[in-house]
Amino acid sequence: MDILIPSVPPPLRITHQMWEDFLCDPVLACEVIFGIRLDAFQKCRLRYYWWVQNVIDSSGVGSGKTVVDFIFLCLRCILIPKQQAAVFYPSFGTGKNSFWEYFGSFVLSGRAPIFVAQLGNPVKLEAGDEVAGDGTLHGSDCYTAFFRNGNKLKMPAPSIALDSVRAASLTVNTLIIEEWCQIDAASDAIDKQLIDRARGNSYNQFSPLWGNHIVYSAHAQTMMHPAAARFKHHQRQVAMGNPQFANLSYSYKDFSDLKCHTGKSFKEEFRIESTIDNKRNVCSKSDWRGQGFGIWGTSGEGWFTEDALSAAVTRGKAYGILPVLSRRQFEELEQTQSTEVQTSV
């Protein structure tokens, strides 16, 4: 027996002309499909995501990254044929409470009927999976949103301690890695398993629109952080003028006096000063530059400056001495030496 899928009512359809306009301007697509208006800097962020294939977003806390992440991934799934997308969080619970909550917000609020009309009907695949009220499939180790055109958006449960081996069979076209600095500090999951997940077939792999996209999202750190190497590589590509790379940095102070959908200004609606002050009061100045303003800088804590440490590392390498800069590196070195001793015995 065939299953009849109800058609989309004419007012909720995305026509061919609308599709062409939306592909050229994701901000217009956001306003029409989701029914929300973004602030000026959020529009810039969405356009960078849309047109640049490798983006590091180092913006500070409270700068509205998550909602733009959600809109970007959903637009890619709605507008681009044969598109598979995924978002990774170091903690599955964080992803559920911050990112996936937007499905319920848009589906249940009734303010985004065109978006809801583009969602497909999930199929219950395995025991324990359930179709939630937000119209998505909630599995024990992966949440999945289905779209009418056959595309999917997934949020797998991470296994960072195991270098994300659960992602080994996943192939996507668009990938967002949230809190990537935290992942880089804890494991080699990004290099070993996550980056090469964005290997899905595309209409034109070299196109800024059709090609596969990777977005790294986390607030900035100091240059002594393990994630700094990846940031510096991106920064070199940007300095060379490579159009496939971009580094972004916004802060809560970028919310403007423009009016949002509630009638208030974006600053009044989204810049929560009390929360920001509480965060600032428990951070050092160097940490707040990264967490508050998204600035990658030197650390002012400790006995030595980063320049002094870098000089010491360079001099040590010249004498063939291996510098140990982290507990993890020390433990790996200790394990290697222990193995060599056992082998020699």
Supply the pLDDT for residue 165: 46
Supply the pLDDT for residue 141: 86
Averaged over 166-183, what is the pLDDT?
Answer: 85
Under a CB-based contact definition with an 8 Å cutoff, are residues 249 and 294 in contact? yes
Averaged over 261-275, what is the pLDDT?
Answer: 87
Distance of CA 31 to the CA centre of its chain: 21
Averaged over 274-285, what is the pLDDT?
Answer: 80
Averaged over 324-344, what is the pLDDT?
Answer: 65
Please give the C-alpha separations between residue 166 and each of 71, 90, 157, 183, 271, in angstroms, as whole numbers: 25, 13, 8, 15, 37
Under a CB-based contact definition with an 8 Å cutoff, are residues 88 and 177 in contact? yes
Q: Is the pLDDT of residue 156 over 70?
A: yes
- pTM for the full model? 0.83
Averaged over 241-259, what is the pLDDT?
Answer: 95
Supply the pLDDT for residue 343: 61
What are the tokens at 182?
Answer: 């935290």
| pLDDT tens digits along 64-86 | 999 999 999 999 999 999 999 99
Q: Is the pLDDT of residue 258 over 80?
A: yes
Pick from 11-25, 161-175, 219-233 the range whose average pLDDT is largest.
11-25
Residue 229: count of CB within 10 angstroms of its CB: 10
CATH architecture of 10-293: 3-Layer(aba) Sandwich (3.40)
Of 328 and 320, more confident: 320
Supply the pLDDT for residue 136: 92
287, HSE (Cβ side, Cα atoms, 13 Å): 7
| pLDDT tens digits along 81-139 | 999 999 999 888 889 999 999 999 998 888 899 999 999 887 766 767 788 888 899 98
Nearest-angstrom CA–CA distance, 207 and 193? 24
Share of the chain above pLDDT 70, in %: 84
pLDDT band for position 329 (cuts 50, 70, 90): low
Q: Is the pLDDT of residue 164 over 50?
A: no
Share of the chain above pLDDT 90, in %: 51
pLDDT band for position 4 (cuts 50, 70, 90): very low
